[in-house]
Structure 1
Amino acid sequence: ERVAFFDRVMNFVETDPQVYVDECSNSIFSLLKKEYDTPRNRSLSATARMKLMPALMAQGKRNLKKPVRLYAQLAIDSARSIDSLFKDSLMTLARDLSPAEKDELVKSRDAALSAIHSYADWLEGRLSSMVAFAPMGEENYNYLLKHAYLLPLDARQVAMLGEAELARYRALESLLPDPSLANPDPSRSKNIPADQEAFLKAYERRQEEMINFLKEKKLVTLPSYLGPFSIRQLPDAFKPTSPGGFMNPPGLYDKDNSGFYFIPTYNPKSNNFYIRAAIEDPRPILGHEGIPGHFLQISIANQLKNEIRRQQNDGVFQEGWALYGEEMLMRTGLYPDNSASQGQVLRLSRYRAARIGVDVNLHTGRWTFEQAVKYFMEAGGLDRESAEGEAAGAATSPSQKIHYMVGKWQIMRLLGRYRDAQGAKYRLGAFHDELIKNGSLPLSVVEWLLLDDPSTLEQALH
Structure 2
Amino acid sequence: MTTADLIALSDDIEEWARACAFRSSDDIPRLRRTPGWMPDITPESVEKRRADVAAFRARLDTVTGDLDAQDVASQVDARLLASVLNRAVWDLDVLRNWERDAVFLVGQILGPWFDLLLPLPPYSGEVERGLVAVASAIPARVGLARDNLSHAGVADLARVASIELQDIDARFAASVEGLDGVVSGETLAELRALAPAAGEALAGFGSWLASSAADFAPSVPVGRDRFVWFLRNVAFIADEPEDLVRAAQQDYRRAVLAELVTRNRFRDLPADEIAASIDAQVERQVAQEAEVRAFSDREGLLTQPDTLRRYHVAEMPPRIEPLRFLGVPDDLTDQDRLDVDGVSYMPRPRPDLPYFYAANARDPRLGIIHEGAHYKQLAMSWAHPDPVRRRYVDSVANEGIAFYNEELMLLAGLFDDAPHSQEVVHNFNRLRSLRVVVDINLATGAFTLEEAVDFFVSLVPMDVETAREECAMYLATPGLAMSYHVGKQALLRLVTDAIVAQGDAFSLRALHDRVWANGNVPFSLQRWEILGDRGDLDVIERSSAPLS
Which TM-score applies when normalising by structure 2? 0.77
* Structure 1 match to 2:254: 168
Q: 1:218 aligns with which of 283, 289, 300?
A: 300
Task: Please identify, of 92-101 and 393-402, the stretch whose mean Cα deviation from structure 2 is larger.
Answer: 92-101
Shift of 1:271: 6.1
Q: Is the 8 A contact 2:249 2:434 kept in 1?
A: yes
Which consecutive aligned stretches of 4+ in structure 1 deviate over 6 angstroms post-superposition?
96-99
Change (3 A) 1:82 1:230: farther
Deviations 1:231-289 (A, max 9, x none): 135534554476xx4543222333643222233x2343216322332222221222100
In the alignment, is residue 159 of structure 1 matched against residue 245 of structure 2? Answer: yes
Shift of 1:35: 4.7
* Structure 2 match to 1:395: 475
* Structure 1 match to 2:535: 455
Q: 2:127 aligns with which of 42, 46, 58?
A: 42
Q: Is the 8 A contact 1:300 1:437 kept in 2?
A: yes
Q: CA separation in 2, counterparts of 1:163 and 1:335? A: 25
AA matched with 1:33: L
Q: How does 1:148-297 map to 2 (within 5 A)?
A: 148-176=234-262, 178=264, 188-189=271-272, 192-233=274-315, 235-240=320-325, 245-254=328-337, 256-263=339-346, 265-270=347-352, 272-290=354-372, 293-297=373-377
Deviations 1:294-329 (A, max 9, x none): 011100111112121111332111000000000000
AA matched with 2:295: F
* Structure 1 match to 2:97: 12
In the alignment, is residue 143 of structure 1 matched against residue 229 of structure 2? Answer: yes
Q: Is the 8 A contact 1:288 1:326 kept in 2?
A: yes
In the alignment, is residue 422 of structure 1 matched against residue 502 of structure 2? Answer: yes
Shift of 1:168: 1.6
AA matched with 1:60: A
Q: 2:108 aligns with which of 23, 28, 34?
A: 23
Aligned to 1:260, the other structure's residue is in SS state: strand
AA matched with 2:537: L
Q: Is the 8 A contact 1:79 1:237 kept in 2?
A: no
Q: CA separation in 2, counterparts of 1:336 and 1:349? A: 18
Task: Please identify, of 275-284 and 6-15, the stretch whose mean Cα deviation from structure 2 is larger.
Answer: 275-284
Task: Please identify, of 20-29 and 30-39, the stretch whose mean Cα deviation from structure 2 is larger.
Answer: 30-39
Shift of 1:85: 6.0
Q: Is the 8 A contact 2:176 2:192 kept in 1?
A: no
Q: CA separation in 2, counterparts of 1:321 and 1:98? A: 41
Task: Please identify, of 411-420 and 103-112, the stretch whose mean Cα deviation from structure 2 is larger.
Answer: 103-112
Aligned to 1:231, the other structure's residue is in SS state: strand
Q: CA separation in 2, counterparts of 1:167 and 1:383? A: 21
* Structure 2 match to 1:111: 197
Deviations 1:437-456 (A, max 9, x none): 22410110011111111112
Aligned to 2:313, the other structure's residue is in SS state: strand
Change (3 A) 1:97 1:421: closer
Task: Please identify, of 233-242 and 293-302, the stretch whose mean Cα deviation from structure 2 is larger.
Answer: 233-242
In the alignment, is residue 346 of structure 1 matched against residue 426 of structure 2? Answer: yes
Q: 2:520 aligns with which of 440, 443, 459?
A: 440
Q: Is the 8 A contact 2:119 2:331 kept in 1?
A: no
Q: CA separation in 2, counterparts of 1:272 and 1:94? A: 28
* Structure 1 match to 2:163: 77
Shift of 1:40: 4.8
Query: Which ranges of structure 1 fall in alignment gaps of 5 or more residues?
Result: none
Change (3 A) 1:69 1:305: same
AA matched with 1:34: P
Deviations 1:88-115 (A, max 9, x none): 4444545487766543322222221121
Q: CA separation in 1, counterparts of 2:199 and 2:184? A: 22
Shift of 1:228: 2.3
Shift of 1:71: 1.5
AA matched with 2:357: I
Aligned to 2:482, the other structure's residue is in SS state: helix
AA matched with 1:143: W
Q: CA separation in 1, counterparts of 2:95 and 2:174? A: 35
AA matched with 1:219: L
Change (3 A) 1:377 1:430: same
* Structure 1 match to 2:16: none
Q: Is the 8 A contact 1:150 1:461 kept in 2?
A: no
* Structure 2 match to 1:372: 452
Task: Please identify, of 345-354 and 421-430, the stretch whose mean Cα deviation from structure 2 is larger.
Answer: 421-430
Shift of 1:4: 1.1
Shift of 1:220: 0.5
Q: Is the 8 A contact 1:39 1:94 kept in 2?
A: no
AA matched with 2:332: P
* Structure 2 match to 1:325: 405
Change (3 A) 1:28 1:240: closer
Q: Is the 8 A contact 1:82 1:236 kept in 2?
A: no
Q: 2:207 aligns with which of 103, 116, 121?
A: 121
Q: CA separation in 2, counterparts of 1:237 and 1:266? A: 14
* Coordinate RMSD, CA, aligned: 2.5
Pairs aligned (count): 452
Shift of 1:211: 1.4
Deviations 1:56-112 (A, max 9, x none): 111111111121122212322333354566434444545487766543322222221
Shift of 1:457: 1.5
Q: Is the 8 A contact 2:374 2:398 kept in 1?
A: yes
Change (3 A) 1:240 1:41: closer
Change (3 A) 1:385 1:104: closer
Task: Please identify, of 145-154 and 99-108, the stretch whose mean Cα deviation from structure 2 is larger.
Answer: 99-108
Identity rate, percent: 25
Aligned to 2:369, the other structure's residue is in SS state: helix
Q: Is the 8 A contact 1:32 1:89 kept in 2?
A: no
Aligned to 2:344, the other structure's residue is in SS state: strand
Q: CA separation in 2, counterparts of 1:4 and 1:211? A: 40
Query: Which ranges of structure 2 fall in alignment gaps of 5 or more residues?
Result: 1-85, 543-548
Q: CA separation in 2, counterparts of 1:402 and 1:24? A: 27
Q: Is the 8 A contact 1:230 1:260 kept in 2?
A: yes
Deviations 1:391-421 (A, max 9, x none): 2232232110100011110111111111112
